[in-house]
Structure 1
Amino acid sequence: MRLMLHFLLLCRISLCQASADNCRGVHCKETGDPRPCIGAHCPGGRVSRPPRHSGPVTHGSGQHRAYPSSASAQRQGSISIGGGGGAGQREGSPVAGCTDAECAVLARHVHASPNDTRDCRGIECRLPLRIRPRARVRVCVGDGCVSGGAPEDRDRSLPVHVADRAAQFLGDFPEFGHPSPEVGGAPLGVQLTCDIKPGENEVPSEDALILHLQLAKGQETLVEALRAQQAMVKDLQQKLVEQQEALLSQQRDILEQQRRMYQQMDGVKAQYKMLSDTVKQASFQGLQGELQSYLESQLSGLQSQARSHLHKSYAVHKMDPDSKGMDVMGEAHFPQPLLGCPSPCGTEQYCAFQKEPPQCESCTMCPPGFFLISQCSPTADRMCQDRDECLELPNICGERVKCLNTPGGFRCLGVSEREAMMGLCGHEYFYNQELQECQACSDCVGETITAPCSAMSDAVCGQSAESPLSQSWAATVTMPSARNTEAKIYPGLQMNIRSKDTSNLLSSEAGRVVFQQHGLVWVDHNFAIKHTCRNFLQLGMRLNGSLEEEGQDLSGVRIEQPDGKYFQGVSISSGMEVEPNHTIAILLKSPNNHCDQSKDIHVYDISAPTLSFLWLSHDTGAVAMSAQMMLLTHYQTSYRPTFRVTSVSDPYMISITHDNRGIRFTESGVVKFVLQQALYSMGHTCVKEGFSLIAFINRNGTGQEMTQAFKTGVNYRDTSITLSGAAAVENGDTLSFEITSPSQCNIRYFGDGTGISILSLIWIPSALSSALTATVVKTGLPSGAVRNKPLLFQQTSSDATQVHLARSGEPNSRKNFVFRQKGTANVALNLKLIHSCNVVKLTLQRVGGPDQSSPDPVAQQVSGHTPEGSEWASIGLRTSFQVQNGTAIYATLDCIRGRVNHITHEGGTNISILWVAG
């Protein structure tokens, strides 16, 4: 096939040209001479060589077919010149019929150099000699021609024999065929014939021939590339077959695993049957049904796990052959004896088997924004699923705003509060300013809707008698037994909280308080101790934790070392937001292990409850916040603390000022606060004059002192100062603090994560609360040997509708604080005095109420004598309790073995009362 292609190509590009031009007529056409063409001047007398190939000539329709001549004809080198009939020809001369001079010229033409181009014409001169056409012999026809041959040869037109250039070229390249034989003949035995048409055939250039040869070689390279690609395709097909075989092998392995799983499930069913038979034989009533439902749920779970596992197995492309079989049972030794709840659970309850021992738990209610996926059963809790509002409503935030799903709601990224007020959240959703997202409105199931859901507020459900806005709870805190090996003070000793009061809000368990409802809580604890431990002791509160479980420290105060000479009374307070199952524990710890509970610690047994709780419902709209002080290493004289917010339930209502030194309020209400700061003092002037912590209310650019607490100074000792109070605030008011110290007294303030330098506060709307502040009168105060004498006060704040101080003309004038509405009250009392008593007792008494019973103490605090080198002393208490319309309270002072010299009516002595609707 390749030979045939070469043949057709070369035959097409080869041009066959006539071997000689005929000179007709009397005069030759080419010379233009009127004389007959004779001799060397005849145009037809050009030197020519016989053609290389000879062969028969075929005549037909003016076409001549020339066949190659023999090689001997090419070697003759004789020249025939048209002219007369052979007269004057001499034998051995190059040219017959010429004179000597003419023959010399013709001889030069005959013996010319091969590169001579005089015998070529046109494009022939560009061709190499090996393919240039040979000299052609012209035949002279006409009257002026000399006959040089036989008459019969002159009568007929002789065929022109032309060398086949393509065949000659192929002979020069052996790779295209066999070389030309000596006797002529085309390569490979093929004869090339071309139609001769004078004036139309031309010789192609060498570049065209070489280009065609390169195309031929390119075709060979293409064929080779196609063969290589064919081999690659075969290789890929082979690899595909191998992969298909591997996939089939994996499918067989998966089916084998499935068979083993079902065998294991059959084994579980057989074990369940055996266990059921054992239960029947043991005659446990009621246990069989629970076991059956539990095991059936476990089997259904195993089946779902098996299906999920198989689905994942089919999805993978490769399986690890070294992987072990899946533990379908979930445990190595199944079944295990199961224990049920001690008593049958009621409606809307289920038995929680994961707890030890199992106990009944209330079924979870699906919160707003969630939907039910599984009902509550005796052995399983109700299951809820968060609604994906972004998926259900793709254009809920608009086409150009991205929607982010959140638990119970959704968030439109980049949407401002103003846009949310226009109703962007949609129906049954409101914009939560605290979370800055849209939340689902609450469903008032079984309750009346007192306030419908709006674009910026949630729905408010009707209140029932069992769900008041505020409540109080009191307990007693005692030291654990020193024989207990876990009662170590150095890491932290948990105090025991015990109470006889029962409440649906909280309970006392394992010495801690456990909350059962969510809300806001204010906690106060009064504590009196005498110790000889090195350095100091620290009393604090911890939320949701104890020694076994880490939690968050809410507050803390430090009790310095007085060498065990007298009792010290301290109070700690804190406000926080709680959820069900949150716990609060009271901890007492030492910074080192040089403290023995049985020898170094003596706690005063206070007759009144020492721990009290004020619980506020979320329906009151109260806001809780806590902030940490940002401290420097060293201060002198006055110190204004700066704050860093750690938690806030509504940042819109309460925020930090631009200089971080004050708390700003957005709406009017009542704020209950406590500030606790640990410090280290150096200098005798610190001991003599002590420190004062003052709270200011800045209103319309004017700072006004609200309340103050005093702390006796110590030298080279760690101690704390704390202040708690309540005050009414207006829109735009700020609350700030300042600690004053005497000159030449160096103080270092400390803070860490244990709550010793923290601010806690709760803001309550003015519609549900009120506050009153007062101080002692200037005259008529108890002095000398004082035994349970009441204190007289004068009011410093404006009147409040719910509580007031008895005025002149009323019973117990300036003594009693009378409540006019039912609710919950919180009292903080600070007293600064000079005395020499061994023990000073400050007690808050409550009288009146529905039963008009005798006074009973609601809180009490104890302190010892004035420290050496100091002139002033202080004592204070804090507590919360329930009040009715007509309930009255008053404070008494008791001095044991000593006298009271003076009680100041200025800074350091004050009382603040907070009332909240019940």
Structure 2
Amino acid sequence: RTNPRTITAEVFHPGCSGGSCPTTVSHRGTDDDKGECKGIGCRSPHRASQKQQQQQQQCVGSGCRTHAGDDGRRDSSPVQATDRAAQFLGELPDFGLDRGAWIQLACDMMPSNEVPSEDALVLQLQLSKGQERFVEALRGQQSEVKELQRLLSEQQGALVNQQREILEQQRRMFDQMEQDRDECLEISDLCRDKQKCINTPGFKCQGMTVRDANSGMCGHGYFYNSEMDECQACSECDGEPVVSPCTLVTDAVCSGSVNDVPALSLSWSGDISLKGPKSQILGQAFPSAQLHIQGRDDMGLVSAEDGQLVLKQHGLVWLDGVLSLGHGCRSFIQVCLRVNHTDGSDGRDLSGIRVEHQERRSLQGVSISGVAEVAPGHLMSLFLRSASHHCNQSSEGLQLYDTSAAMLSLLWLSHDTGAVAMTAQAVVSAHYHTNYRPAFRISSTSDPYVVGLSHDSRGIRFAENGSVRFVFQQALYSMGQACVSDGFQLVAYLNKNGTSTEMFRVFKPGVHYRDTSISLSGAATVSPGDAIGFEILSPAQCNVRFFGDESGISLLSLFWVPAAISSSMTASVANTGLPSGAVRNKPLFFHQTSPQVPQMGLLGKGSPNQKKDFVFGESGTVSVALDLKLIHSCNLVKVTLLRRSDSEGGREAEGLRPVPIAQQVAGQMLEGCQWASLSLRASFQVYNGTAVFFILDCVRGRVNQISHQAGSGVSAVWVAA
């Protein structure tokens, strides 16, 4: 029989090969066989051992091994593996096979010490590099997936925010629709024809144009929304400070809706009172009395505490005080502006002005100004100081008139503006003079390169373009009746390229054998090399002695702001339309003497308030100074600065009264004087379209004349917000 095929066995028969041998013939190996015994056909152990001995005899070399070595290990040569298997099988009984059928085992084994070929090494290296590239590509894909997930989350967040805004807008629209009023039915004379009025969340006039809106067609409390082409109600700030008021074509802007952008300039205003009942101090004398400052906090700039101003921000501060005083002291009273450090030490006077004694008791208008570089915690205060103890004991020692507007205003400039502050003390002159040009020595300056003294110390020179606001007050003592009749004049000059030009001139009534002081404040535009100087003009038959000390009198104070964020303007009193006679709240008219600037200017022809209103074209902070030289017989004469509410191009909204910003009050003229003077200074915030104007009021008397040639005028400096 033929053994079935297997993977590792083959059947052999003597004398034949392959599977064609007859199955009935069975051969055994015999001793007569001449051929070598192959395979497992050699069953006889004796024959197998003889065969092994022959092989051992034929084997020569170190490759020949015995079946068992000294260490007991078996020979594992692949050449002899087949014979050993055959010997082992021959000793076992047949596994159901014919005795003539034998099995040969062939093992395809690789030696353990065989080294892979070079091709295999190259292939292995290529596979390892390919695996590294695959891992790197996988990591890159993971990073891209993470980035896509991040972008998707951001887009989802933005979408959620947009949906929230849409829902908020829808809620507002629903609220407007539920609380909306029908203006077309409730308000008469809308759109000049009720048939053209269409009710919306506000109301709409058919065929309405921007020109109609500027003419006030929307009415009070409404503004024209050009995008919606309708009139809408002005927003209410609900107690928040108003950054920009509602105008004819723009809505109101509240401080809560403005981005937290650092301010370049701010303003604050407050009131001044005396410590005592009914704003009066009774008694004999007061060596020093503190004026009580009161007001509200504004934008975290200052706070009024214990009658003093506490500064809360770094920067430069310009302070203006407007007071109307009456006193019974035999000598003068000095108003002092003082600044102290946080702990109250190292205090110094920033300014001082003297209020002279008058035989006939009357109110005297006083304006005081000063500048300082401050830090959080610095304290600013106002004091009244008496030169002697001989005050009138039988009547009121001191009286402060309560005006209808703020008596104290403050302009704050950030260091980001690049502004420079300087103070200079006038050199003391003990000699009598007729005309006097003071020389100065610098007391303090925040930048000596930009602002310094001229070569002769009689002028303040500037190294860069900019706008400047200054004040100079000089204490003096005069003798002679000519001093009373003619008075004194203080002139400010601007020197350009060696040529001096008069900028401002103020008048001060004179006194005889008394102390007094004269003060001038103004604003101007300066260029590199320009210088500002001063001169005091006295009557020929008048002997004057000028004084100076550390109490703030005879002091020059100024601040300079770069031209990129500032501008200035000057105007003189117009010679036509001057109020005279029984004047009751009559407006003052002016003529602009400085070049036109986009930030502010005097209204020209074509406006109902021409030559009367000063209109501002950009938001910012303004410091204004007004001086008047006049003849009057009034018991009280008042000059007031007012702001028009909701003004646009100098036009006041219907039904609203102007708001007073500042007011100065003076009493009767001194006996023997030909002229009287009045000064008003204030700082305030302005916006695009803000308009201000001045009015004059005479109580129980008449205004006879106002000088328009010299001694009367207005100046202003504007700083960006």
| TM-score normalised by structure 2 residue count | 0.61
Pairwise CA distance, 1:540: 0.9
Q: What is the SS of the residue equivalent to 1:695?
A: strand
* Residues 1:770 and 2:564 are matched in the alignment: no
Judged with a 3 Å threshold, the aligned counterparts in structure 2 of structure 1 residues 495 and 546 are, in CA distance, closer, same or farther, namely farther
Distance in 2 (CA, whole Å) between partners of 1:581 and 1:486 is: 33
Match of 2:697 in 1: 894
Is the strand fraction higher in 1 or 2?
2
* Residues 1:525 and 2:321 are matched in the alignment: yes
Assess if the C-alpha contact under 8 Å between 2:284 and 2:390 holds in 1. no
Q: What is the SS of the residue equivalent to 1:842?
A: strand
Distance in 2 (CA, whole Å) between partners of 1:487 and 1:604 is: 18
How many residues are paired up?
A: 456
Pairwise CA distance, 1:595: 2.9
Judged with a 3 Å threshold, the aligned counterparts in structure 2 of structure 1 residues 768 and 630 are, in CA distance, closer, same or farther, namely same
Distance in 2 (CA, whole Å) between partners of 1:771 and 1:529 is: 31
Distance in 2 (CA, whole Å) between partners of 1:810 and 1:624 is: 38
* Residues 1:514 and 2:310 are matched in the alignment: yes
Pairwise CA distance, 1:801: 1.3
Pairwise CA distance, 1:491: 2.7
Match of 1:600 in 2: 397
Pairwise CA distance, 1:636: 2.1
* Residues 1:576 and 2:372 are matched in the alignment: yes
Assess if the C-alpha contact under 8 Å between 1:530 and 1:564 holds in 2. no
Distance in 1 (CA, whole Å) between partners of 2:544 and 2:622 is: 36
* Residues 1:651 and 2:448 are matched in the alignment: yes
* Residues 1:477 and 2:272 are matched in the alignment: yes
Q: What is the SS of the residue equivalent to 2:485?
A: helix
Write the letter of the residue equivalent to 2:677.
S
Pairwise CA distance, 1:547: 13
Judged with a 3 Å threshold, the aligned counterparts in structure 2 of structure 1 residues 890 and 502 are, in CA distance, closer, same or farther, namely same
Task: Map 1:282-361 to 2 at 5 A.
Answer: none
Q: What is the SS of the residue equivalent to 1:755?
A: coil
Judged with a 3 Å threshold, the aligned counterparts in structure 2 of structure 1 residues 915 and 859 are, in CA distance, closer, same or farther, namely same
Pairwise CA distance, 1:588: 0.5
Task: Map 1:623-662 to 2 at 5 A.
Answer: 623-662=420-459
Distance in 2 (CA, whole Å) between partners of 1:563 and 1:802 is: 47
Pairwise CA distance, 1:465: 2.8
* Residues 1:681 and 2:484 are matched in the alignment: no
Distance in 1 (CA, whole Å) between partners of 2:284 and 2:315 is: 33
Assess if the C-alpha contact under 8 Å between 1:822 and 1:917 holds in 2. yes
Match of 2:557 in 1: 760
Assess if the C-alpha contact under 8 Å between 1:821 and 1:885 holds in 2. yes
* Residues 1:792 and 2:595 are matched in the alignment: no
Pairwise CA distance, 1:750: 0.8
Assess if the C-alpha contact under 8 Å between 2:469 and 2:559 holds in 1. yes
Distance in 1 (CA, whole Å) between partners of 2:490 and 2:546 is: 13
Fraction of identical pairs, as percent: 53
Pairwise CA distance, 1:594: 2.4
Judged with a 3 Å threshold, the aligned counterparts in structure 2 of structure 1 residues 668 and 489 are, in CA distance, closer, same or farther, namely farther
Deviations 1:228-278 (A, max 9, x none): xxxxxxxxxxxxxxxxxxxxxxxxxxxxxxxxxxxxxxxxxxxxxxxxxxx
Judged with a 3 Å threshold, the aligned counterparts in structure 2 of structure 1 residues 485 and 806 are, in CA distance, closer, same or farther, namely closer
Write the letter of the residue equivalent to 2:707.
T
Q: What is the SS of the residue equivalent to 1:767?
A: helix
Q: What is the SS of the residue equivalent to 1:586?
A: strand
Q: What is the SS of the residue equivalent to 2:390?
A: coil
Distance in 2 (CA, whole Å) between partners of 1:688 and 1:822 is: 45
Pairwise CA distance, 1:486: 12
Q: What is the SS of the residue equivalent to 2:491?
A: strand
Pairwise CA distance, 1:501: 4.4
Distance in 1 (CA, whole Å) between partners of 2:343 and 2:434 is: 39
Q: What is the SS of the residue equivalent to 2:693?
A: strand
Assess if the C-alpha contact under 8 Å between 2:329 and 2:357 holds in 1. yes
Distance in 1 (CA, whole Å) between partners of 2:365 and 2:374 is: 28
Pairwise CA distance, 1:545: 6.5
Distance in 2 (CA, whole Å) between partners of 1:653 and 1:883 is: 28
- Residue among 630, 655, 680 paired with 1:877: 680
Judged with a 3 Å threshold, the aligned counterparts in structure 2 of structure 1 residues 782 and 641 are, in CA distance, closer, same or farther, namely same
Judged with a 3 Å threshold, the aligned counterparts in structure 2 of structure 1 residues 573 and 673 are, in CA distance, closer, same or farther, namely same
* Residues 1:707 and 2:486 are matched in the alignment: no
Assess if the C-alpha contact under 8 Å between 2:342 and 2:378 holds in 1. no
Match of 2:662 in 1: 859
Judged with a 3 Å threshold, the aligned counterparts in structure 2 of structure 1 residues 550 and 666 are, in CA distance, closer, same or farther, namely closer
Q: What is the SS of the residue equivalent to 2:429?
A: coil
- Residue among 666, 683, 696 paired with 2:493: 696
- Residue among 700, 714, 726 paired with 2:523: 726
Write the letter of the residue equivalent to 1:471.
L
Unaligned runs of 5+ in 2: 1-257
Distance in 1 (CA, whole Å) between partners of 2:299 and 2:277 is: 31
Match of 1:72 in 2: none
Match of 1:609 in 2: 406
Task: Map 1:88-127 to 2 at 5 A.
Answer: none
Distance in 1 (CA, whole Å) between partners of 2:379 and 2:360 is: 33
* Residues 1:911 and 2:706 are matched in the alignment: no
- Residue among 514, 521, 529 paired with 1:717: 514
Assess if the C-alpha contact under 8 Å between 2:284 and 2:397 holds in 1. no
Unaligned runs of 5+ in 1: 1-462
Distance in 1 (CA, whole Å) between partners of 2:357 and 2:468 is: 34
Match of 1:589 in 2: 385
Assess if the C-alpha contact under 8 Å between 1:540 and 1:553 holds in 2. yes
Task: Map 1:43-192 to 2 at 5 A.
Answer: none
Pairwise CA distance, 1:772: 0.4
Assess if the C-alpha contact under 8 Å between 2:466 and 2:561 holds in 1. yes
Assess if the C-alpha contact under 8 Å between 1:494 and 1:547 holds in 2. no
Pairwise CA distance, 1:505: 1.2
Assess if the C-alpha contact under 8 Å between 1:849 and 1:883 holds in 2. no
Task: Map 1:831-870 to 2 at 5 A.
Answer: 831-849=628-646, 852=653, 853-870=656-673
Q: What is the SS of the residue equivalent to 1:799?
A: coil
Distance in 1 (CA, whole Å) between partners of 2:378 and 2:513 is: 39
RMSD: 2.2
Assess if the C-alpha contact under 8 Å between 1:489 and 1:595 holds in 2. yes
Pairwise CA distance, 1:817: 0.4
Q: What is the SS of the residue equivalent to 1:752?
A: coil
Judged with a 3 Å threshold, the aligned counterparts in structure 2 of structure 1 residues 903 and 786 are, in CA distance, closer, same or farther, namely same
Match of 1:738 in 2: 535
Larger RCO, structures 1/2 (Cα 8 Å, 6+ apart)? 2
Distance in 1 (CA, whole Å) between partners of 2:360 and 2:576 is: 35
Write the letter of the residue equivalent to 1:706.
M
Write the letter of the residue equivalent to 2:681.
R
Distance in 2 (CA, whole Å) between partners of 1:783 and 1:596 is: 36
Match of 1:666 in 2: 463
Judged with a 3 Å threshold, the aligned counterparts in structure 2 of structure 1 residues 550 and 480 are, in CA distance, closer, same or farther, namely farther
Deviations 1:705-726 (A, max 9, x none): 1111110001111001000010
Distance in 1 (CA, whole Å) between partners of 2:525 and 2:392 is: 45
Distance in 2 (CA, whole Å) between partners of 1:825 and 1:522 is: 11
Assess if the C-alpha contact under 8 Å between 1:469 and 1:619 holds in 2. yes
Q: What is the SS of the residue equivalent to 1:633?
A: strand
Match of 1:498 in 2: 294
Assess if the C-alpha contact under 8 Å between 1:541 and 1:584 holds in 2. yes
Assess if the C-alpha contact under 8 Å between 2:281 and 2:398 holds in 1. no
Distance in 2 (CA, whole Å) between partners of 1:653 and 1:887 is: 32
Distance in 2 (CA, whole Å) between partners of 1:547 and 1:539 is: 23
Assess if the C-alpha contact under 8 Å between 1:838 and 1:864 holds in 2. yes
Write the letter of the residue equivalent to 1:791.
L
Write the letter of the residue equivalent to 1:868.
E
Assess if the C-alpha contact under 8 Å between 1:676 and 1:721 holds in 2. yes
Distance in 1 (CA, whole Å) between partners of 2:581 and 2:559 is: 40
Distance in 2 (CA, whole Å) between partners of 1:545 and 1:787 is: 45
Assess if the C-alpha contact under 8 Å between 1:531 and 1:564 holds in 2. no
Q: What is the SS of the residue equivalent to 1:881?
A: strand
